Amino acid sequence: MGERIAVIGVPSQSGGRPIGVARGVGALRAAGLVHALRASGHDVEDLGDVALPPPDPARDPASHVVNPRGLSALIREVDRAVRAARSQRRFPLVLGGDCPMVLGCLRALRGADGSVGLLHVDGHEDAYPPHRSPTGDSADSEIAFALGDASMSWDPELAVTQPWLAADRLVLLGQRDRPDLERHGVGSLAGRCVLIDAAAVREDPDAAASRAVGLVASEPFWFHLDWDVLANEEMGAVIFPRPGGLRWDDLAAVARTALGRRTCAGWDAGTYNPDRDPDGTYATRIVGFIVEALQARDPR
Interval 29-42: pLDDT, tens: 999 999 999 999 99
Q: Which amino acid is at 222?
A: W
pLDDT in tens, 218-275: 999 999 999 999 999 999 998 777 788 999 999 999 999 999 999 999 999 999 999 9
Report how far residue 134's alpha carbon sits from residue 176's, in angstroms, rounded to the nearest whole number.
Answer: 17
- 212 φ, ψ to 5°? -60, -50
Lowest-pLDDT choice from 116-125, 154-163, 271-280, 291-300:
291-300
Strand order in the sheet with 117-121: 43-49, 4-10, 91-96, 264-270, 221-226, 117-121, 170-173, 194-196
So what's the pLDDT on residue 239? 79
Domain ranges within the chain, ordered by starting residue: 4-297
Beta bridge partners of 171: 119, 194
**CA torsion angle 227 113 43 224 (round to 10):** 0
> What is this structure's pTM?
0.96
pLDDT in tens, 160-219: 999 999 999 999 999 999 999 999 999 999 999 999 999 999 999 999 999 999 999 999
End-to-end CA distance of the chain: 7
CB 235 within 8 A of CB 289: no
Nearest CA-CA partner of 87 in 224, 254, 207, 266: 266
Report how far residue 271's alpha carbon sits from residue 160's, in angstroms, rounded to the nearest whole number.
Answer: 29
What is the bridge-based pairing of β-strands 264-270 and 170-173? unpaired
So what's the pLDDT on residue 240? 74
How many CA within 13 A on the CB side of residue 226? 29
What is the 8-class DSSP label of residue 190?
A: B
Q: Which CATH architecture has domain 4-297?
A: 3-Layer(aba) Sandwich (3.40)
What band does 300 get if pLDDT is binned at 50, 70 and 90? very low
